[in-house]
Amino acid sequence: MVHVSVVSGFDWDDGNRNKCCRHGVTQAEIESLFHHELRVFPDVRHSRNETRYFAVGRTNSGRYVFVAFTLRTHSGSRYIRPISARFMHLREVRHYEAEVAGRQN
């Protein structure tokens, strides 16, 4: 289990900022996703050189977002380094909503 609540912030540079924003998701939307209820899963397929994860959830504005990320450590602090982001497809939104509703019952 990844506890994104125990990170010091986000690790951004031109490379990951441009790649994440390529699909219309802003840096602020990506960061806001991690301040709400979200689901985090290991990304085994893309974890060859480092452990990667993906998160799905809603932003402050209520938009559904998918973010691939890794955790990096700098000076003893952990940071979320977003790798890619996009808005979720309708089928993914329905699945996410069903899981959230199932956990509330």
99 Cα distance to chain centroid: 17
- Measure the CA–CA gap between 24 and 43, rounded to whole angstroms: 22
pLDDT for position 20: 86
Host domain of residue 29: 4-104
pLDDT for position 36: 85
What's the mean pLDDT in 20-33?
91
Residue 10's CB is within 10 A of a number of other CB atoms, namely 17
Which amino acid is located at 82 in the chain? Answer: P
- Classified as helix, coil or strand, 32 is helix
Is it the case that residue 11 has pLDDT exceeding 70?
A: yes
> What's the number of domains the chain is made of?
1
* pLDDT digits 0-9 by tens, 28-53: 999 999 988 888 988 878 778 888 99
* pLDDT digits 0-9 by tens, 56-65: 999 989 999 9
